[in-house]
Amino acid sequence: MDEQLFFKKLDNLCTSKEIFSFLSSLEVMSDTMASGALQRISDIEVDDNGLKNPGLLENEVFRALCFQFEFESSKLSNTGLLNALQALIKLCIDPQSTLMTSLLSESKERLGRGQLTAENLCALGESLLELEGPSCATLEQIVNHMQERGIERWSPREIAMVYRILQVTVREGKQCQNLLNRLNSVTLHKVSQLSPNFASVILNSLVVLHQTRAVLLIIALCKHSVKHVPYFTDHELVDVLEAFLYFGQKVQTFTQALERHVPKSICTMHPQTISKVMQYCCKKMILSKPIFDAVAEDFISSADKLTPDQIAAYIIPFGTLNYLPPSASSLFRKLETVLHTRLRHFQPHTLLKLLHSCVLIQRYPINFLPKIFSPYFLQKLQAQPPGLNRVVMSQLTQLFLTVTLECPFYEGPKLLSKYQVKACPTLHSSPDVHLFKRVKTGLFHLLKKRIYFASEVSTPYFYVIDIEIKLDEEGFVLPAAQLEEIHRRIALCVDGQNRFCAHSHNLLGEEAIKQRHLQLLGYEVVQIPFFEIESLQSTRKMADYLHKKIFPCTYG
């Protein structure tokens, strides 16, 4: 049969049974056709979980093909040899079998004799990378042969493969930064030609190889990734998101592409991919309601299949970014059910982070707090990295403060004082220096003397107040140092952009709970958000704004 007609028919076959039947009907076929059939079988029979039907390896047609490849390897064309090798690796044939040993040995001999074309070198390199314990020497030999052609002439496939090979050689302790610098430079001019697979492979390699100085290439690849978002496989999307996180990239069009892709594809996405999407949003402080709403719905329907780490990855960003989806009641009801049945499977630090994130958005894990505050659980926390560091103790303290202030009906064990901290440091607690300075200047203009307000005041209740103003019973401002006859305390929260979700006026969870608790502790909380004072250019205008905000009764 004509090869062109053979491959046209082969592409229309959808099961290995159909392929075997088709092959049985042919009297003669070339090694290229036979290796193409093996590749088609591997495409159909292998998915993310491996070989779907191991029984096909016992099929007599399959065994006959393998027999031919094993005993006639020296007579095969380069294309037939290397395509067969790739297909058999994908089909999980034992690398130590005589079949695989024969094909590998023949491939390496042809490499040594310089008989392989650029495309052949790529196929061999990809095969060696897929096998366990690839031979570093052979991979280096492939790169050296490719360099003879000139790096500027490499195709996107060759570029992607060399990046993968360099990952292996670097792990083996080899230095290759000079080649990497040249490769990074050439790749920059070919970014627009990269497929979704090659783009994700190269981004992943840049992460593994710590190429933080290849700034222009990283930016170009991240921007190029936007159009590929709907076409990335789960594994590829995870690698791309990891690269965005590692290199600190935040491309708004990429987030928008995720917002279009995730809600409609979430039913078929792997939980690990969804976890990585949520981690990306959480680390970048991106409150994407379309993504979060879709993830909430997915959690409600599939939580029983998730691992404890995946459950935490799904839920924690809701608390961190201070967002309750429309399905919040069902979401947290499902979470409680899952925790009741699988609590013992959670690592201590994962469980603490999860429950702490819940209280940030006023979802109180009352039924699980006796376990958290128990000496046994606290000992387990201390025994596992990172132990009882300041962040962990702050989360414990804030959990305890939450039940004390917001759940007066809680009668379970309390958190022992030795596990409590006097101040709750949060990642975004420090005020914006420039904004803070402008507010203090405005206050000085309004109150005439610096003694009438204090800044960055530590309270007995774990929180640090940006600015505190004390008033007597008649509403007059008292000196900040005065300790008696204080009737009212005003807590000014100078909230810069670092306390809000990105491109949003939505307070982060840690700041929202702080302001909520300060109110419950008797403070009058006055929020001074950055977006209200950005346009106030003069000190007089700032003082006027503060007067109206802090003392509305006397304004005007």
Give the rounded percent of residues in the chain with a pLDDT score beyond 90: 79
Q: Round to whole Å and give the CA distance between 214 and 207.
A: 11
The confidence score (pLDDT) of residue 307 equals: 97
Residue 427 has pLDDT above 60, yes or no: no
Question: 308 or 142: which carries more pLDDT confidence?
Answer: 308
Q: Which residues contact 436 (CB under 8 A, 6 or more apart)?
A: 455, 466, 494, 496
* Mean pLDDT on 34-55: 89
* Residue pLDDT, tens place only, 183-196: 999 999 999 999 99
Residue 426 has pLDDT above 60, yes or no: no
The confidence score (pLDDT) of residue 518 equals: 96
- 105 and 111 in contact (C-beta within 8 Å)? no
Mean of all residue pLDDT scores within the chain: 92
Residue 555 has pLDDT above 80, yes or no: no
The confidence score (pLDDT) of residue 28 equals: 87
* Mean pLDDT on 276-282: 97
The confidence score (pLDDT) of residue 461 equals: 84
The confidence score (pLDDT) of residue 425 equals: 60
The confidence score (pLDDT) of residue 50 equals: 84
* Mean pLDDT on 296-322: 98
Helix (H) / strand (E) element for 265: namely: helix 252-265
Residue 327: band (very low, low, confident or very high) from pLDDT cuts 50, 70, 90: very high
Residue 134 has pLDDT above 60, yes or no: no
pTM of the predicted structure, to 2 decimals: 0.87
Question: Could you write out the DSSP letters of every residue in 193-253?
Answer: G--HHHHHHHHHHHHHTT-TT-HHHHHHHHHHHGGGGGG--HHHHHHHHHHHHHTT---HH
Question: 428 or 309: which carries more pLDDT confidence?
Answer: 309
Question: Could you write out the DSSP letters of every residue in 76-113?
Answer: S-HHHHHHHHHHHHHTT--TTSHHHHHHHHHHHHHHHT
The confidence score (pLDDT) of residue 173 equals: 60
Residue 207 has pLDDT above 90, yes or no: yes
The confidence score (pLDDT) of residue 240 equals: 98
